[in-house]
Structure 1
Amino acid sequence: MYSLSSASGVAALSVVLYLVLSYARALAVFRRRQRGRPLPPGPRPLPLIGNLLDLPLRKQGIGLRDLCRKYGDMVYLSICGQPMLVIGSATAARDLLEKRSANTSDRQYSTVLDLIGNSVALSAMPYGQLWRDHRRAFWQIFHPGATRQYRDAQHIILHNFMRKLLVSPDDLKEHLRYIFAATMMKVLYNIDAQEDGDELVSVVDEAISRTATLATGVHPVEIFPFLRHLPSWVPGTDFHDAFAKCRAAVEHLKETPFATLKAALNEGRTAPCGISVLLSKLITPASSSPDNAYWEDVIKNVGLVAFEAGADTSFSTLQAVFLAMSLYPKVLKTAQAELDAVVGSHRLPDYGDRDELPYVNAIIKEALRWHVVLPLSLPHNTVVDDELDGYFIPAGTIIMPNTWGILHDPEVFEDPEEFRPERFLCDGKLDDSDHDPHAFAFGYGRRICPGRHFADESLYLTVASVLHVFDIGPPLDKDSGEPIVIQYEQTDGFLTYPEDCRCTIRPRSKNSEELILEAQLKVFSPT
């Protein structure tokens, strides 16, 4: 049992030790520099805390863009002795994170992710054999060839989603959460989500929302890891309870659907799905080999990260699409004209229509650019000392690509705050330029998201189907019936959402309503 004096003494000693170690780390970086190789430019650091006060507390993408405008495409910061390099251009990102990916594909240990149970996520793992095993397993069920087997399930859940929009359009966010959580439940575990009040859908939402809240900004525990060891009754340590609740939700999401699937497999009452495929490929039946325990944990982690990444990044992007359609009615009408010409009025869009719908595809690209879900991507880490453009980059440097700044560069994207899909078209066809948002929104180099093909297909089918049958406009005041003016703003955090995506959603016509209902009937009466 700690006494107040002993706890205070431990805290004070921890602070002193941390500052001493920070100073030693900064000194080691200074001594490793070779003559003639300066560090990249950046603001002058303060003693001990370095450039801690130069980190923007809010709207990090904007704040770091401003730093890059002042100091250049690469800005060097020292955060309590920890080297950090902010990347502010597409060229620098490619040079460092793709061409030098053998040295820049590591991840920095995250105290916050460890405390909430997410250090096992593929995206957070250090570069090495464990990461390679997880990525190989993930790729087996989400490579482009594998994703085709999930299309029937995607259609069924999409039709449910559109029926929900038809019945209760004001519950857009709830319906978006349903479509992605339900899709991942079916694809990964062959579990059918209940129409309303599904427990696992609620767990997905809780795990993601708690994770996003705790990871907003720079948490003090991330900068001062010793804080995790302070007892919960010490003032300022109320984060312990929040971490524990998030960790419980993450653990539930990792273990419960896996146990449900294994029970169904043992009883022979389930069809093949993503996780069952991995079990058949990686687990030796009737064996107590340690390899089985290892691979089973890998498979659980793959399911967890697929749930969290798939259900949340797409959820955020689609909110932005609905908001953009309400703010830019000409974009919506242009997309609907293209859909009417290619798809017609008697069916819904399908995957086979995609190549004939360049404007719809351009909307998806523009949504990824306009609303950057991960403004700073996920930080990379250097393994050994490196050099770029004559600048010394120490081993252990955190590399922070400002993806928001790259995709809002006015020299590349004219009027970057405007939603203009035509910027990705040339002579009526998609323009495959070097500035395709897909090359930045899904990560960089060897750490690019291995589920990007599945996410892209899901976005296409959802956007094309929704725009084909629904009109989307600004929200209306309940009393006056007048449109409410909504301005696009992003929430803060490593993972962002539109602050307000309220809109009015109505079927385009009676025929559109019938298409939705007919598709729903096929879900319950397949031919």
Structure 2
Amino acid sequence: MPRSKPVAERAVPEQEESQFSDDLVIVVRLDVRLHDKRKWRPGVELPLIHAMDDRSLLEVTSEFSFVHPNMESVLRTIPVLLVAVVLLAFVRFLLDRKNGYTRGLPLPPGPKGWPVIGNMLNMTASQPWIAYRNLAIECGDIIYFQVLGQPLLVLGNAALVSEFFEKRSANTVGQDKNYGIMPYGQQWRQHRRLFWQHFNVRAVSAYQQTQTDTTRKFLLKLLQDPSQLVEHIRYAFLATILKVLVGIDVSDNGDNQYSGHIDAALEGFSQGLMPGKFLVGLLPFLRFVPSWVPGAGFQNTFARWREASAALRHGPFEHVKDAMERGDAPESVLAKLLSRVPDESGIWGASAEEVEEIIKNIGFVGIEGGAETTFSAVQSAFLAMSLHPSVQKKVQTELDAVVGPHRLPEFADQASLVYVSALCKEALRWQNVTPMGVPHRTTADDELEGYFVPAGTLVSANVWACMHDPAVFEDPDEFRPERFIRNGKLDVSARDPSAFAFGFGRRICPGRHFAEAGLFIIVASVLHVFDITPPLDEQGRPIEITPGQTDGIIS
């Protein structure tokens, strides 16, 4: 019985310093491994596949063509708008500076800014987690910025992150109506309660068969056409989450009415929430500027994101509701939630329409979060295996001993697959899914380590720095699953990357158990039947791969 081994890794070409290409390069080579003789038969080398990543939208929106019937009037308006922006920013700067010392406390340290624009020139859209880690050497692990009067705070170590995001989570608020980052309160508790009922550590076991079945299809796709690795991975997670949440079966070719909407919504989540990425995030009144005004091309981008998000909020919900009215709705999380609308309305004293809105949000967040976070982690694991063959050999030795040559891994094997579980943790640590976390806004003045934090401050956690702290993780840039193992078992005393990859405290992602289960079954299954090795050039020589991460909330 042959064991086929594709080669796959997420990589970007090596460039100067820590700058990486915007391309997501997927290289695949197929080898065949025989169970009995453990020998290799070189397979067909396949061409490079470039999956273009999101370009910097700051660059995109700076390029525009502009024609208006009343050009002279428009040109007279632009200077007025610019003056208004400068004056408003200056007023905010003076007010924030005054308020910053109302408790007799200094503002946190940070780079010196310029009048009016503040630290705008200090903000970077490329690999900000590395820039902030380097800046922390000079300023410390609490770094404060002001951009056009908007205060920003970056926390650079785990203790500070825990203090602010766990113990003071009531003083933070998200950037939109997304349940995952909405303000803590009654509405948030209602959302989380319903979501948690279907995705807690015990509930997710009901979805293991769906995850297993989808993974088996993924393996077959990978064997038949390894050149489409990225699309196969995305299919695996999209098919799983749509089946669980909505009861929809995604076709084997991956075609689905929601696929395009998911990509656009994820782009909006990843790019739109990055502090400083868009000027409108610092000056909200700019959202009223028409899209035809020079520099306001972001309006078209935002409109595309809103359309995709609305489609994901309403489409799956209406699909399930219509099926229930016809009496042919398959089992799904949304169907279960809709069947309990009268009961939930009685518990909360809310109308049926209000409960249905909560269910829509739960479906949207489940699809959005479940389709991308584990997708990114799986790519990191594949990349690590191509760079660390000794680690891969240890994983396969464990799989051969526990699972054997005549079947595929099951969830029942997980307790015995200690090294596989440690590898999954290391994948989350090594190349973080959310290297800067999800920013939150303070709703009231606060104090941290003797520094004053004004209300309205956007606070971000440098998750990458926390997961690459040499005081906690020896040689943090090395991929080393052993750091999570002690005496042949998972080390419960080790800092758990899941506590950072999926959020913090009461705001930790309630779907994390589902995501971690998906990561485990795919990694275990792929490494049991495939080898992952570096790609080869035209002369058959291994190509050196430099790992890197893409920009955005989700990397």
TM-score above 0.5: yes
- Select between 161-170 and 215-224 the one with higher mean Cα deviation: 215-224
- Select between 62-71 and 26-35 the one with higher mean Cα deviation: 26-35
Identify the residue that residue 402 of structure 1 maps to in structure 2: 462
Cα distance change of structure 1 residues 162 and 218 upon mapping to structure 2, 3 Å threshold: same
Secondary structure, counterpart of 2:460 in structure 1: strand
CA contact (8 A) 2:258 2:312 kept: no
Partner AA of 1:439 in structure 2:
A
Q: For 2:184 and 2:76, how far apart are their aligned partners in 1? A: 37
Which residue, out of 178, 181, 188, partners 2:238? Answer: 181
Cα distance change of structure 1 residues 47 and 150 upon mapping to structure 2, 3 Å threshold: same
TM-score, scaled relative to structure 1: 0.86
TM-score, scaled relative to structure 2: 0.82
Cα distance change of structure 1 residues 82 and 245 upon mapping to structure 2, 3 Å threshold: closer
How far residue 467 of structure 1 moved from its aligned partner, in angstroms, is: 1.3
CA contact (8 A) 1:73 1:87 kept: yes
When you count helix as a share of all residues, which structure comes out higher? 1
How far residue 163 of structure 1 moved from its aligned partner, in angstroms, is: 1.1
CA contact (8 A) 1:203 1:252 kept: no
Q: For 1:106 and 1:404, how far apart are their aligned partners in 2? A: 22
Q: For 2:303 and 2:454, how far apart are their aligned partners in 1? A: 35
CA contact (8 A) 1:335 1:467 kept: yes
Identify the residue that residue 341 of structure 1 maps to in structure 2: 401
Partner AA of 1:280 in structure 2:
S
* RMSD between superposed Cα atoms in Å: 2.4
Structure 1 unaligned spans of 5+:
110-118, 497-527
Q: For 1:273 and 1:197, how far apart are their aligned partners in 2? A: 20
Identify the residue that residue 436 of structure 1 maps to in structure 2: 496
Partner AA of 2:244 in structure 1:
V
Cα distance change of structure 1 residues 447 and 212 upon mapping to structure 2, 3 Å threshold: closer
1:26 aligns with 2:93: yes
Identify the residue that residue 50 of structure 1 maps to in structure 2: 118
How far residue 126 of structure 1 moved from its aligned partner, in angstroms, is: 3.0
CA contact (8 A) 1:474 1:485 kept: yes
1:224 aligns with 2:283: yes
Identify the residue that residue 194 of structure 2 maps to in structure 1: 137
Q: For 2:76 and 2:367, how far apart are their aligned partners in 1? A: 42
1:95 aligns with 2:163: yes
Cα distance change of structure 1 residues 172 and 396 upon mapping to structure 2, 3 Å threshold: same
Q: For 1:317 and 1:64, how far apart are their aligned partners in 2? A: 23
Identify the residue that residue 271 of structure 1 maps to in structure 2: 330
Q: Summarize deviations over 1:396-445 as a string: whole Å, max 9, x none.
A: 22111111111112222222222111111222221123522112111122
Identify the residue that residue 551 of structure 2 maps to in structure 1: 492
Partner AA of 2:194 in structure 1:
A
Identify the residue that residue 38 of structure 1 maps to in structure 2: 106
Q: Summarize deviations over 1:322-353 as a string: whole Å, max 9, x none.
A: 11111111111101111111222222222222
Q: For 1:285 and 1:409, how far apart are their aligned partners in 2? A: 45
CA contact (8 A) 1:74 1:85 kept: yes
Identity over aligned pairs, percent:
47
Cα distance change of structure 1 residues 224 and 385 upon mapping to structure 2, 3 Å threshold: closer
Partner AA of 1:65 in structure 2:
R
Partner AA of 2:504 in structure 1:
Y
How far residue 461 of structure 1 moved from its aligned partner, in angstroms, is: 1.4
Cα distance change of structure 1 residues 285 and 98 upon mapping to structure 2, 3 Å threshold: closer
How far residue 139 of structure 1 moved from its aligned partner, in angstroms, is: 1.6
1:78 aligns with 2:135: no
* Mapping of residues 198-217 of structure 1, within 5 Å: 198-200=255-257, 202-208=259-265, 210-211=267-268, 214-215=271-272
Secondary structure, counterpart of 1:372 in structure 2: coil
Cα distance change of structure 1 residues 36 and 317 upon mapping to structure 2, 3 Å threshold: same
CA contact (8 A) 1:204 1:308 kept: no
1:126 aligns with 2:170: no
Count of matched residue pairs: 483
How far residue 476 of structure 1 moved from its aligned partner, in angstroms, is: 2.7
Cα distance change of structure 1 residues 230 and 262 upon mapping to structure 2, 3 Å threshold: same
Identify the residue that residue 476 of structure 1 maps to in structure 2: 536
Identify the residue that residue 373 of structure 2 maps to in structure 1: 313
* Mapping of residues 127-526 of structure 1, within 5 Å: 127-200=184-257, 202-208=259-265, 210-211=267-268, 214-215=271-272, 218-283=277-342, 291-433=351-493, 435-477=495-537, 479-496=538-555
Cα distance change of structure 1 residues 69 and 364 upon mapping to structure 2, 3 Å threshold: same
How far residue 309 of structure 1 moved from its aligned partner, in angstroms, is: 0.9
Cα distance change of structure 1 residues 286 and 459 upon mapping to structure 2, 3 Å threshold: closer
Cα distance change of structure 1 residues 212 and 294 upon mapping to structure 2, 3 Å threshold: closer
The runs of at least 4 consecutive aligned structure 1 residues that moved more than 6 Å come to: 284-287
Partner AA of 2:156 in structure 1:
G
Cα distance change of structure 1 residues 35 and 386 upon mapping to structure 2, 3 Å threshold: closer
